[in-house]
Chains A and B, each alone.
Chain A
Amino acid sequence: MSEGTGKKAPYTIPIGPIHPALKEPVMFTFKMDGEMVLDVDFAPGQTHRGIEWMGMRRNPVQIVHLTDRICGICGVSHTLAFARAVEQIVEIEVPERADYIRTIIAEFERIQSHLLWAGVAAHELGFDSLLHLTWRVREQSMDVIENLTGNRVNYGIVQVGGVRRDIVPEQHGVIEDCLTTYEGLLSKLLVLFLDDKSIHLRCRDRGVLSSEDSLKLCTVGPTSRASGVNMDLRQDYPYAAYGDLDIKAILPDQHMGETRGDVYDRIVVRLLEVGQSCGIVRQCLDQMPAGPVTGEPKIAKILAICKKAHGEAIGRVEAPRGECFHYVRMDGKESPTSWKVKASSYSNLMSWIPMLKGEQIADIPIIVASIDPCLSCTDRVAVIRSGKRSILTKEALHRMSVEKTRRLQS
């Protein structure tokens, strides 16, 4: 970013860098011409915790609990990806029942994550009653997750070799209740989000990412699917129980008849995936085989096997936000020689640049939120105008966004 442009346009607006609720706090620098974003730059890593470094000094069983805490929302995706990588190196066979339980938990995670996102998106647009509605209905999926794993957030269910808890027949009723509720609600949510005139005005053709840019910038998950890239690990590279199930990647043209790659399409994809996840959990419950839930119940034995293991492997999981990738290399020591964690947002951040160029300040919150990065980076904005510096709080930025909605409505 060029500094000292003085009193003439373009102005430079920094947004960020941190907010306590954000997993990947980001420092944005916008180059503005009036209301128009000319150029964007961002610096992630504002709270890099060195988790990979920590992992290279711990054993796989300890790392499993560390991976649970990488992300507050994708609690199972990271652990599952890591466990799958280790299982490939040490050649532990995971029982079929464990694969199904992993799948069920992963799908409930997707449901709660997408509903959380939908609420946040509504909030960013100034539609707070919809935020409260979606977050209230989200609670039921959190309750099911708590029922199945014992925890709302850091599930602690996946272990190298399998899962730590079984799903017993008495729990099927709770799951069934939840699925029925969501399947009934989905059409209502689709109407509330997609047929709303204000949401349509604010999101249609805003923050467009072409499918070509999406491929070149290596985006993943709902962000790339909304741009029309047919890419879903559950369909293309099925892991756990997904290979047994009937899964087709959700693309916006299936519902809308066309793909525009805008914020609206991202809403379409995520909402439809809630319904898809309900279907996947149903299929899992129907087909779930009986048997043990772990290939090796003794932790000490897992550690002993891991200590002798040599090799490298990749674990990939379709997290709610896209591909979650873990690379592990073990060289016969207690802890892995190398461990690389690639969260889904890592791949999606670069897509902000083409999305934000040419948009207005008031559209920044919803576009930044549209890739689901945990958008709290808009916490604090410093605006430099005519050489004077003033601080715009997240509230002020949010207010500008709400005002734009009101303007469009009137």
Chain B
Amino acid sequence: MTAARLTPEQVVERFTTRFGDAIKETRIGERREGSRKNPNYNIWIDIDREALKPAIETLIDIHFPHLSVISGNDLGETIRLIYHFSIYYGIPHGEYMVTLAVQIPKEDPTVPTISDLIPGAVFSEREKQEFLGIKVTDIPDDRRLFLPEDFPEGVYPWRKDETGIPDSMVKDLWASGRPTDRPAPPAEEKESCSLEDESEEGGDTPAEGERKETKEAEE
């Protein structure tokens, strides 16, 4: 494992030689922090949807990757899904981030599941289904993950088009009052304080004051 550690350029080369035209773009980011300015490498590879799974297999051949998470952007016509992996963990200063990104059209927002290769990916795939409105084919568990059961169908919080969160779900919530389709609360609602009580209370004070005054006057 350690003996044959590839350089970031060699990792990119593995992908470009194997996938050729399926690779849209590659980029190696470098960040140096602290006094010694040791470099950290982030490898970004934009790839066709069809080549996603073979690409992950290639990554597994290099070093079994840790999947951090799958994130995504709504780019208007397409949705970009971004798979963040890291390889060579366990080697001091040796880890690389390898990010594979696929763009999928909104008319056909499907992507194959990678959970057969990395079982832990199901969690993130379920989240992307509900937040970006994509369809992960052959996902072993396609229930919702974070959104509540009564969240409306066809609304995807991270979308920037008409299927995103509508204003009616956000704005002026105070004006909408308590939802009418919910079960009654277990405890009876308290009677609202009437303003009259307050004015009565307000009336008491001068009366007390008066009494005091009369008391003083008596003394």
> In the bound complex, how far is the Cα of B210 from the Cα of A120, in angstroms?
60
Q: Which of B35, B44, B92, B143 contacts A287 (CB 8 A)?
A: B35
Is B158 a contact partner of A53 (Cβ separation < 8 A)?
Answer: yes
Contact of B157 among A53, A99, A242, A312 (CB under 8 A): A53
Bound-state CA distance A332–B122 (Å) is 33
The interface residues of chain A lying within 8 Å CB-to-CB of B38 are: 238, 243-244
Q: Given the known A-B contacts A53-B165, A230-B89, A236-B95, are A48 and B34 also in contact in the complex, defined by CB atoms under 8 Å?
A: no
B33 touches A240 (CB 8 A): yes
Chain B residues within 8 Å of A94, by CB: 33
B45, chain A: closest CB distance, angstroms:
13
CB-contact partner of B158 in A44, A241, A243, A338, under 8 A: A338
Rounded to whole angstroms, the CA-CA distance of A63 and B49 in the bound complex is: 33
Looking at B31, B67, B122, the one whose CB has the most chain A CB atoms below 10 A away is: B31
Choose one: A229, A235, A241; the contact of B92 (CB below 8 Å). Answer: A235
**B148 and A45 within 8 A (CB):** yes
How far is the CB of B79 from the nearest CB of chain A, in Å?
Answer: 11
Q: Is the CB of A244 within 8 A of B35?
A: yes
How many chain A residues touch B (Cβ–Cβ < 8 Å)?
54
What are the interface flags for A240-255 relative to B under an 8 Å C-beta threshold, 1 for contact and 0 otherwise?
A: 1111100111000000
Tally of contacts, chain A with chain B, CB under 8 A: 136
Question: Mask for B88-105, Cβ within 8 A of A = 1, else 0?
Answer: 111111110101000000
Q: Beyond A45-B145, A350-B123, is A237–B95 a contact (Cβ under 8 Å)? A: yes
Nearest B residue (CB) for A52: B158
The answer, yes or no, to whether B71 is at the interface (CB within 8 Å) is yes
Chain B's nearest CB lies how many Å from the CB of A163? 13
Q: Is the CB of B158 within 8 A of A237?
A: no
Measured CB to CB, the closest approach of chain B to A209, in angstroms, equals 12
Residues of A with C-beta under 8 A to B74: 338
List the A side residues contacting B88 at CB < 8 Å: 236
Would you list which residues of chain A between 291 and 333 have a CB under 8 Å from chain B? Answer: 312-314, 316, 323, 325, 327, 329
Rounded to whole angstroms, the CA-CA distance of A362 and B9 in the bound complex is 52
The answer to whether residues A325 and B69 also contact, given A45-B148, A53-B165, A242-B34 and a CB cut-off of 8 A, is: yes
Instruction: Please state if A216 and B94 are interface contacts (CB–CB under 8 Å).
Output: no
- Find the A residue at minimum CB distance from B120: A218
Query: How far does the alpha carbon of A236 sit from the alpha carbon of B87 in the complex, in Å?
Result: 10
For B122, what are the chain A residues with a Cβ–Cβ distance below 8 Å? 350
Asked if B73 is an interface residue, CB under 8 A from chain A, the answer is yes
Question: Can you spell out 19 A-B residue pairs with CB atoms less than 8 angstroms apart?
Answer: A43-B145, A45-B144, A52-B158, A216-B119, A229-B89, A230-B89, A238-B33, A238-B38, A239-B31, A241-B33, A242-B34, A243-B33, A243-B36, A313-B29, A313-B42, A325-B68, A338-B74, A350-B122, A350-B123
